[in-house]
Amino acid sequence: MADLTSPGISVSRREDGIGAEVSGVNLSLPLSSEAFAAINEGFERYRLLVFCKQDLSVKQQVEFSERFGRLEKFPDPKDQAEGYETVLRVSNIERESGNIKPVDDPGHKSFTLGTSSWHIDSSFRTLPSRASMLYGKEIPAAGGDTMFADTTRAYDALPENQRAELHGMTVIHDFEETRRRHNLPPRSAEVQAATPSARHPLVTERENGRRALFIGSHAAGIDGLTYDEARALIDELEALANAPDCTYRHKWHSGDLVMFDNICVMHQALPYDLVNTRRLLHRTTVAGEKPLARVG
């Protein structure tokens, strides 16, 4: 049964786990103000929305995504879809040749290992991004699913005394952390300087009053704790967010679009045959506009 409705559109909470499914909308067409309001309200309420059986050009995905705000740019041309700076190719397919990338290609290996860990897109930025949209183009027959975990639900499940202990903590997010944990070489000093680490509240409070744990694989430490102490706490909170009622596993089909909140929803790519099967998703990311707010 639909929880939210607009003329022709329904937003229905999933029966298990997190998120909601949206039906009755064709995202390739301009959205009326009423239709957009229903989708936006559903996003604010459920933090993850699934749209199935869409047929979107890159331009149409960009136009839909831009309804929610300014999009982040991806500067490397080889990572861009059809030359759009705001669309990232999440893929094991080379853009120019169309061939499957060698599994030992350093850049591809780094990306594959990095996205296989629970992470929040752009959490290492001073202004973390608001939302991401992933659109399925080429999908493996087996594997390659994406897991999502809601850290708002995880926070709500904590005992009150533990919540209070976390409220004053500051977490450090660093893009290099994921590389270190996978024993990958560091990026160049120039690249690291362009994306320095950022400090955020471990628990952030949204404008609607909801609170979330801001964690994930880029979380490199917590002010006032040793690395090992911080790692143990972050791992504990991540495990809590992995509970069945906090997660959703999306089995991709071509034409699926999943939109998720980038402040409180972690995600990870699950394994698939990188050598013999092709996988291509297009990602757009709504940029952040202000630092994360602390509790109280």
Look up residue 155 and give its two tokens. Answer: 């926070």
**CATH code assigned at 181:** 3.60.130.10
The answer to whether residues 93 and 138 touch, using CB atoms and an 8 Å cutoff, is yes
C-alpha count within 13 angstroms, C-beta hemisphere, residue 42: 30
Residues 6-64 have pLDDT tens digits of 568 999 999 888 999 999 999 999 999 999 999 999 999 999 999 999 999 999 999 99
Q: How far apart are CA 238 and CA 175, in angstroms?
A: 18
Please report whether residue 106 resides in a domain.
yes
The CA angle 240-288-175, to the nearest 5 degrees, is 60
Q: In what order do the strands lie in the sheet with 280-286?
A: 4-6, 9-13, 20-23, 48-51, 257-261, 131-138, 280-286, 84-91, 80-81
- What pLDDT is recorded for position 1? 43
| pTM listed for this prediction | 0.94
Please report whether residue 296 resides in a domain.
no
Q: How far apart are CA 231 and CA 238, in angstroms?
A: 10
Domain residues for the domain of 235 are 4-286
**293, 156, 10, 17: CA torsion to nearest 10:** 130
Which helix or strand (DSSP H or E) is residue 119 part of? none
Q: Closest by alpha carbon to 204, among 148, 284, 128, 287?
A: 128
Q: Closest by alpha carbon to 85, among 65, 107, 109?
A: 65
- What pLDDT is recorded for position 218? 94
Please report whether residue 108 resides in a domain.
yes
Non-local CB neighbours of 165 within 8 Å, separated by 6+ positions: none
Domain count, the chain: 1
- What pLDDT is recorded for position 280? 98
Please report whether residue 199 resides in a domain.
yes
Q: Are strands 211-213 and 48-51 parallel, antiparallel or unpaired?
A: unpaired
Please report whether residue 82 resides in a domain.
yes
The CA angle 24-260-233, to the nearest 5 degrees, is 150
Please report whether residue 293 resides in a domain.
no
The three-state secondary structure class of 213 is strand
Instruction: Collect the ranges in the chain with pLDDT lower than 50.
Output: 1
Burial of 75 (0-12, 13-18, 19+ CB in 10 A): exposed
Please report whether residue 235 resides in a domain.
yes
